Amino acid sequence: MRLTIEKYHGLGNDYLVYDPNKNKLKLTPARVQFLCNRNFGVGADGVLEGPVLEGDRISMIIWNSDGSQTQNSGNGVRIFGAYLKDAGYVQKKDFSIHSQGGDIDIHYLNEEGTRLKASMGKASFWSDEVPVAGPRREIINETMVFGRIPYPVTCLSVGNPHLVILMDEISKELVCRIGKYSESARQFPEKINTQIMKVLDRTHIQTEVYERGAGYTLASGSGCCAAAAAAYRLGLTDPKMIVQMPGGTLELEIREDATVLMTGDVGYVGSIKLGNHFTEQLRALDK
């Protein structure tokens, strides 16, 4: 049995698309870890499993590279939208993708399907919706301690949990130092994605991200949405802004009802036919 997967990236945040309609091997946490391994596997920040077709509804499952599943991924939904067009599942310009985080509306901005706008749902700062332990409250500029250092954090959900820390200077080293403590901190029962953010002006911010289940990544779509929503809620930016990451930029818009719109590009790497030996190694896992 030969398996074929497609590889895409959103600003350097790379995913494998595993189509269950074309491949019969069931994905498991161990198999996802092996596929995403950058030395012994194909290498990726995660796997997008789908489309799962139920009538008119198109669903996908988002896997992190550690084999865990997540509710939402901004780069992931754009990549999946590009794949749906490339594979002929979708012809119209507007459609919805269902994930564990809810329905995401997608709009193609070019004929190739490589530039997309996604409506990522409403940002919520309420602790029980993120979730964050403790009494129900909006978590805005609340002090939390990670690695014995206190930080002013803003926590929110955009379909998945995020914490955002405003800083004067940001770096990969700094977000990794914080993220290794914050990801699994006791106040976050479902773990959390960590963004450190620098505001450049009213329409530009910079972020670095440490994703739960994946670690440091060059870009995060949902992380950008969270950072933009936090910056706007803190009164630091206009509702429309550019978010800069090491992997590139995304355009963000925060509407009056707290709905977050994200616009960005997707890159197609190629189709990969897995070798017989590698496929047998995959099959042997979880037996």
SS (H, E, C) 261-273: EEEEECEEEEEEE
CA distance 119 to 106: 7
Q: Is 74 annotated as a binding residue?
A: yes
Q: What is the DSSP letter of 256?
A: T
Q: What is the pLDDT of residue 47?
A: 98
What is the rounded CA–CA span in Å between residue 263 and residue 16? 21
For the chain, report the end-to-end CA distance as a whole number of angstroms: 17
Give the pLDDT score at 56: 86
Q: Is the pLDDT of residue 287 over 80?
A: no
**Domains defined along the chain, listed by start:** 4-114+267-284 (3.10.310.10), 122-265 (3.10.310.10)
Secondary structure of residue 67 in the 3-state scheme? coil
User: Which string of b and e fits 58-82 if b means at least 16 CB within 10 Å?
Assistant: bbbbbbbbebbbbbbbbbbbbbbbb
> In angstroms, how far is CA 40 from the centroid of its own chain?
24
Check the annotation: does 37 bind a ligand: no
Question: Is 72 marked within a binding site?
Answer: no
* 222 labeled binding residue: yes
Among candidate residues 27, 3, 22, 86, the one with its CA nearest the CA of residue 286: 27
Residue 169 assigned as binding residue: no
At residue 79, the pLDDT reads 97
At 101 the pLDDT is 84
Ligand-binding annotation for 160, yes or no, is yes
Average pLDDT score over residue span 106-111: 96
Known binder of ligand: residue 13?
yes
pLDDT tens by residue, 71-85: 999 999 999 999 999
Indicate whether 286 pLDDT > 90.
no
Q: How far is the C-alpha of 268 from the C-alpha of 52, rounded, in Å?
A: 21
